[in-house]
């Protein structure tokens, strides 16, 4: 099996130790309403094999996709009910996820060097993009052009990490390198089509870059607060939100002007010390909690206590919310 340093780093934000194997059931509720955690007992129903999806998935207005790095599956949860209505199988280290305006979901299959695309509520991929020689970790879709950006970790056989851009989310990518960054973590587009990415190099763990709209190369992005370059990031509609790598329960918000990001707020998530990713949709932040094998939902941008908990995962690594067009 391939070695994946950034993935291991992201999976151990806050110092996680051994992680449980994933479990699942046949069509059970996978969540608990309200802010009080419920029992973590997994359904004893017989586990399905292979990918499956209930017919109602295609008509659900919102679906939460949770990649499970331990079981090599992606769970699909109906929102806001918290009902498990599908599982996608066949991955080798699924990690970061993203969606486009059509509701399609992209899953970075880190160990396989692939990106899987699924239509909203579908149980089989509509496309599998090849990212040869690299370990894709994060992704984001440009709302302006439909281009798919994928952040790649370093591969000793192919050179330093990079950002791969698949035009219209199809075909072969164009790779963008940064002389200062040897391995990339995650990325996100803003509403105008500017791409932001983070990474690290030997002795420098807090590096960020931008690919401006219509830009030809990556340029340095400077932030006025110290956050890990390998941490997940999302555009929240106004600001760049970045997870703090240690202790992993803080979300920093930066206002971007030119090549500079200025901190405008910090979101504190209570009892969430090991977050591997997060997604933001309609005033709610969804975060995989590795220390509890759960996904917690929080008010955004307020933070604080969980407003809902989805449980029943093994190693929840990535999250994305698909909206029915």
Q: For 75-126, what is the HEC assignment?
A: EEEEECCCEEEEEECCCCCEEEEEECCCCCEEEEECCCCEEEEECCCCCCCC
Contact 227, 245 (CB under 8 A): yes
**Interval 129-152: pLDDT, tens:** 999 889 999 999 999 999 999 999
More confident residue, 141 or 36: 141
Q: What is the mean pLDDT of the chain?
A: 86
Residue 255 phi/psi, 5-degree rounding, is -85, 130
- Kindly state the DSSP code that residue 168 receives in the 8-state scheme: G
Three-state secondary-structure class, residue 125:
coil
Return the exposure string of 212-233: e unless at least 16 CB atoms fall within 10 Å of the residue's CB, then b: eeeeeebeebebeeebbbbbbb
pLDDT at 251 over 60: yes
Three-state secondary-structure class, residue 148:
strand
Exposure of 89 in the CB half-sphere (CA atoms within 13 A): 11
Can you give the pLDDT at residue 48? Answer: 53
Query: What is the rounded distance in angstroms from the CA atom of residue 17 to the CA atom of residue 258?
Result: 40
Spacing of C-alpha 50 from chain mean position: 23
- Kindly state the DSSP code that residue 5 receives in the 8-state scheme: H
Query: What is the rounded distance in angstroms from the CA atom of residue 57 to the CA atom of residue 156?
Result: 41
Q: What is the DSSP string of 30-67?
A: -EEESSS----PPP-SPPP-S-EE-GGGGG-SEEEEEE
209-225: average pLDDT: 97
**92: alpha, beta or left, given left = phi > 0 and alpha = psi -120 to 50?**
beta
Query: What is the rounded distance in angstroms from the CA atom of residue 89 to the CA atom of residue 50?
Result: 6
**pTM of the predicted model, to two decimals?**
0.88
**Interval 186-197: pLDDT, tens:** 999 999 999 999
97-110: average pLDDT: 98
Dump strand ranges (E) for 122-173: 127-130, 135-141, 148-153, 162-166
Contact 187, 139 (CB under 8 A): yes
Contact 178, 172 (CB under 8 A): no
Q: Domains in the chain, start-ordered, CATH in brackets? A: 5-15+49-221+308-323 (2.120.10.30)
pLDDT at 7 over 80: no
Cα first-last separation, the chain: 38
pLDDT at 166 over 60: yes
Query: What is the rounded distance in angstroms from the CA atom of residue 215 to the CA atom of residue 270?
Result: 39
pLDDT at 105 over 70: yes
Query: What is the rounded distance in angstroms from the CA atom of residue 62 to the CA atom of residue 204?
Result: 39
Exposure of 138 in the CB half-sphere (CA atoms within 13 A): 29
Q: Range with the lowest mean pLDDT among 18-22, 62-66, 153-157, 207-211?
A: 18-22
Can you give the pLDDT at residue 158? Answer: 65
């Amino acid at each position: 099996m391939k070695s994946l340093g950034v993935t291991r780093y992201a999976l151990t934000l806050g110092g996680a130790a051994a992680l449980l194997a994933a479990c699942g059931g046949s069509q059970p509720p996978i969540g608990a309403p309200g802010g009080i955690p419920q029992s973590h007992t997994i359904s004893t129903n017989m586990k399905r094999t292979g990918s499956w999806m209930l017919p109602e998935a295609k008509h659900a207005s919102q679906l939460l996709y949770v990649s499970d790095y331990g079981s090599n599956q992606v769970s699909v949860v109906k929102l806001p009910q918290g009902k498990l209505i599908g599982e996608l199988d066949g991955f080798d280290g699924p990690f970061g996820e993203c969606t486009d305006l059509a509701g399609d979901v992209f899953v970075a299959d880190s160990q396989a060097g692939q990106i899987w695309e699924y239509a909203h509520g579908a149980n089989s991929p509509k496309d599998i993009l090849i990212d040869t020689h690299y370990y894709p970790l994060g992704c984001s879709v440009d709302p302006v052009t439909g281009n798919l950006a994928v952040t790649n970790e370093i591969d000793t056989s192919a050179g330093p990490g990079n950002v791969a851009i698949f035009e219209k989310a199809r075909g072969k990518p164009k790779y963008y390198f940064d002389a200062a960054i040897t391995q990339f973590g995650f990325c996100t587009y803003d509403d105008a089509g500017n791409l932001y990415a983070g990474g690290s190099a030997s002795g420098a763990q807090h590096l960020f870059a931008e690919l401006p709209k219509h830009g030809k190369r990556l340029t340095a992005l400077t932030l006025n607060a110290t956050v890990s370059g390998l941490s997940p990031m999302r555009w929240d509609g106004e600001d760049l939100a970045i997870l703090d790598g240690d202790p992993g329960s803080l979300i920093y918000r930066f206002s971007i002007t030119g090549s500079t990001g200025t901190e405008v707020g910090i979101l504190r998530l209570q009892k969430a010390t090991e977050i591997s990713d997060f997604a933001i949709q309609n005033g709610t932040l969804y975060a995989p909690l590795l220390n509890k094998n759960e996904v917690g939902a929080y008010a955004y941008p307020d933070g604080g206590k969980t407003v809902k908990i989805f449980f029943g995962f093994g190693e929840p690594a990535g999250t994305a919310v698909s909206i029915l067009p």
